[in-house]
Amino acid sequence: MTKPRPKISKATVTRLAFYLRELQQMQRSGLANIQSKAIAERLGLNDSQVRRDISCLGTVGQRGVGYRVQELIESIQRVLGTDRTWNVILVGVGNLGRALSGYRGFEQQGFHLVGAFDSDSKKIGTSIGSLEIQRLDDLSSFCQSHQIDLAILAVPADAAQGVVREIENAGIPGILNFAPIAVQATSKRTIIQEVDLAIELQRLAFGVVPKAQ
């Protein structure tokens, strides 16, 4: 299976996603045009980096006026593939799962949460937001009647690998893994993106001079 979108490095994809968020914020506050320099300043990047990234999009700015905010938003969304709705399910409704389900940023970027699953029988049938929590065993049949693009995995570490297999068997092509353990896909077509919140803290700590103790 080939990638549907242009070859862009992971680092560029990440920066584009940050530009998109800032541009949407700017648009909400009424801005129609923007210079690359203003984006760079808001994100603590340098101007030439921002211009290089934007040039990948094929969007052209106008000297002295800058880029049209709406046009930039649309071209970034097209490149990232978020110019459409992605149907997402949540697997694992603990504290983290609950927080993720209420995370407004997902919906804003086109990620639509359409199902929530857990293996704890006490949770089944209770609701999370507007969704009713379903049995993990029902994942596969749910995916036969709904087109699910992505799964957010928020189960404990020791359950994660087994659940990945169930998600793959249900035919879901992408997994965002919040379980604090690396999981492996069985199929080469499954894309897994690891998120580890402790690793984010470690990345921060690396740059910080700690206080004397």
Residues 18-47 that bind a second copy (CB under 8 A): 18, 20-22, 25, 42-44
Among 52-60, 62-70, 116-124, 171-179, which window interacts with a second copy (CB under 8 A)? 171-179
Where are the strands (E) in 50-170, listed by range? 67-68, 86-91, 111-118, 127-128, 131-135, 150-153
Among 98, 119, 131, 166, the residue binding a second copy under the rule CB under 8 A is: 98
Give 141's contacts (C-beta < 8 A, 6+ positions apart). Answer: none
Q: How far is the CB of 138 from a second copy (least distance, A)?
A: 19
165 binds a second copy (CB under 8 A): no
Residue 142 sits at φ, ψ, to 5 deg, of -60, -40
Strand bridging mode 33-34 / 67-68? antiparallel
| Cα separation, 121 vs 135, whole angstroms | 7
DSSP structural state of residue 187: S
Give 140's contacts (C-beta < 8 A, 6+ positions apart). Answer: 166, 169, 170
Lookup: tokens for 154: 């928020």
127 binds a second copy (CB under 8 A): no
In terms of CB distance, is 42 or 68 closer to a second copy? 42
Size of the site for a second copy (CB under 8 A): 77
Q: How far is the CB of 186 from a second copy (least distance, A)?
A: 13
In terms of CB distance, is 52 or 65 closer to a second copy? 52
187 binds a second copy (CB under 8 A): no
Among 46-54, 63-71, 114-122, 144-152, which window interacts with a second copy (CB under 8 A)? 144-152
Among 38, 40, 80, 159, the residue binding a second copy under the rule CB under 8 A is: 80
